Amino acid sequence: MDRAADMSAALAFVINRIEEQAMRLGQPLDEEQRFLLKNLPDHPDAPEFSTSDPEFPVSFSLRDVTYERLCVLAKDAHRSDREMNLGSHEWEFALNVSKLNRHPMCWLLQWAGVKQRKPWWDRWLLIAASLFFVVANIPLMLLVIGKERVWWRWAIVGAGYIGLLLFMRFVSRRIEDRQLEQNIEKCRGSSRFVASLT
């Protein structure tokens, strides 16, 4: 699997479909929208404002109308592709590839309504992980419960919690990456999808 080639194919597909949808609606993308689509930000650019009222703190940010239009166009293009061919996997492929590469295009695709396939055992894995976390913390708690307060015991408990959280984060990231790679291969297995890439 060539991640760079997959990423460029996914980006080209999504950008092309959004541009086609804009043309179909009779409102082609302008230069600003094209630039934003090809250079999506990794964080929101809209400034946030706060009322600074301590009793009723309200913060809000300005709407990014350009980005919202791209999301609406992507949603319309995705919907029309699903209506024409329900078995099409191009959008799912683009979501999985952009998510695997941690590209901001995955946010636009999620807001456009593209869904990622989850395995049946995903919820059971979450339950098992939470049980593991609880069971792994029992020895740490037994180290300090009912004992006098000694700093080295609390340091061990703190280090144990941090180590356990980092370990679980690493394992969950690896599992998610494996699921995304498997989803990409399933999408690639579709003969219609392979024909559309060539």
Residue type, 98: S
Residue 46 has pLDDT above 60, yes or no: no
58 sits in the region (left: phi over 0; alpha: psi -120 to 50; else beta) called: beta
The pLDDT value recorded for residue 50 is 57
Q: 191 pLDDT band (50/70/90 cuts)?
A: very low
Give the least confident one: 96-100, 170-174, 184-188. Answer: 184-188
- Given a contact cutoff of 8 angstroms between Cβ atoms, the answer to whether 109 and 98 are in contact is yes
- Give the angle subtended at the CA of 173 by the CAs of 126 and 112, to the nearest 5°: 85
Residue 21 has pLDDT above 90, yes or no: yes
Residue 194 has pLDDT above 50, yes or no: no
The pLDDT value recorded for residue 189 is 76
- Given a contact cutoff of 8 angstroms between Cβ atoms, the answer to whether 3 and 101 are in contact is yes
Average pLDDT, integer, range 121-140: 86
Average pLDDT, integer, range 55-80: 80
